[in-house]
Chains A and B, each alone.
Chain A
Amino acid sequence: MDLVDLITEKRFIGQEFLTWLWYKSDERGGTVLLPEMGEDITLVFEKHLLLEFGEGDSHEKIICTGLQAELKEARTGLQMGKKLEQARIHMIRGEYEWHMTIKASLMEFRSVKVPKTMDGVDEGDTQEAVEGRLLDRLGLLETVYKTFDELLGQFIRIRISDQWPAEAAKLRTWIHHSDR
């Protein structure tokens, strides 16, 4: 299958992953475990979610804005079978914080704000200073996608295993009890 077909036929994987991630984050009050590292990180879904439904002419999008996990309209959208396509996420890992928007179907990282790690004195214009700045920034951006790779790996191993029916049942319960 070529990439164009994969993008169309397998877009549900990214959307299911993002929905699952929202559930995992909500389940522990914004904390998600990275099992390989044995590390807890904070992942809060905030302010802006985009859901979609249908294809072609009947394709619909709804944008929900609100504060943090409330976003009741978005959760109602999930109850109606809409898919989570985009979310604004606040991530805290170790002593650093990131803000980003994830577009699920293509795994695009948008408007990624990285933590400021260097002091003003480090910001010279020499080649070494520029290289240092570039490496610092690249390291912070790579942390973002490596964190999401680890989470995606965790999701996909459950998704293809016999644990999935039980996990999907928990996800359905969470979606339907969102108005508690």
Chain B
Amino acid sequence: MGLLSSAATFVRYRVVGDIAPDFWDTAAEQISRCVFKDIDDTYDEFSVGWVSVLNMFDTEFTSASFVAGDHICLTMRIDERKVSPKVLKKFCLKEEERIKKERQIPKVSRGQRLEIKENMEMLLMKRAAPVPATYDLAWNLAENTVLFFSTNQKAQSQLEDFFKETFGLLLSLEIPYTTAERLLSTSEGHALANISPAVLV
């Protein structure tokens, strides 16, 4: 579904705010500060960073530069450790059973149950392999437009935050109303704000 896949799915953003005149000189530094950092060998739960659009293991952009003409093309990679609620429940019950047997008690208290849940969650989180997800973006600097190759709302929200963190610029999602507003003059924009749904039956 990404930029280079045979069937691309995308939404559009406008970049809000002015791009610094020396942007191209500092872009590489801004991106390199926010490249993806692997968490396979750590216990971190979450990592987000930029990688090459051609290779999710390439954080030095040797397989493809992030520059293509007037565009910056990047992939936002997110690795996240997740524990399925069913798996967590199973391990909690197992531990409760073990404690009941060991201490010869009929049931564990609410406090103990909460402690077991907390410990189990931590243990399972450490054991879980991080699940990777990648989302491509193409930023046309000449037109201040970003194509983001996902319709997933959570991913869109993560992009908005991470784009701001990297470049200090806000993204605004383009919907038909905002696109129409941009295509019209200011006086026409007032008329647009006042229209209500048409009755076509």
Contacts and interface: CB of A to CB of B under 8 A. Distances in A.
Nearest to A109: B10
Interface stretch (B24-32, B60-68, B127-135): B60-68
A105 B191 CA distance: 20
Given A134-B73, A149-B183, A106 B3 contact: no
A134 B12 contact: no
Given A113-B7, A175-B201, A134 B176 contact: no
Given A134-B53, A159-B195, A105 B175 contact: yes
A111 interface: yes
Given A19-B200, A137-B3, A138-B138, A107 B174 contact: yes
A112 B8 contact: yes
A6 interface: yes
A108 interface: yes
Nearest to A10: B177
B135 to A, nearest CB: 14
Contacts of B9: 108-112
Contact of B200 (A14, A152, A159, A171): A171
A134 B3 contact: yes
Contacts of A70: none
B195 A149 contact: no
B184 A157 contact: yes
B11 A106 contact: yes
B201 A79 contact: yes
Nearest to A176: B201
A104 interface: yes
Nearest to B69: A135
Counting chain A CB atoms within 10 Å of each CB, which of B67, B71, B147, B201 scores highest? Answer: B201
Interface string B110-143: 0000000000000000000000000000101000
Contact of B8 (A3, A114, A172): A114
Contacts of B176: 10, 13-14, 17, 104-107, 152
A81 B201 contact: yes
Contact of B175 (A6, A156, A160, A168): A6
B68 A107 contact: no
Nearest to A79: B201
Interface residues of B, number: 43
Interface in B43-102: 53-54, 63-65, 67-69, 71, 73
Interface string B177-201: 1111001100010011001011011
Interface in A63-86: 78-81
A149 B179 contact: yes
Contacts of B65: 127, 130-131
B155 interface: no
Given A135-B71, A141-B8, A13 B200 contact: no
Contact of B151 (A79, A110, A156): A110
Contact of A112 (B7, B138, B183, B198): B7
Interface string A92-109: 000000000001111111
A168 B151 CA distance: 31
Interface in A147-165: 149, 152-153, 156-157, 159-161, 164
A138 B68 contact: yes
Given A80-B201, A168-B198, A3 B6 contact: no
A119 interface: no
Given A3-B175, A145-B147, 4 more contacts: A6-B177, A113-B6, A114-B8, A160-B195
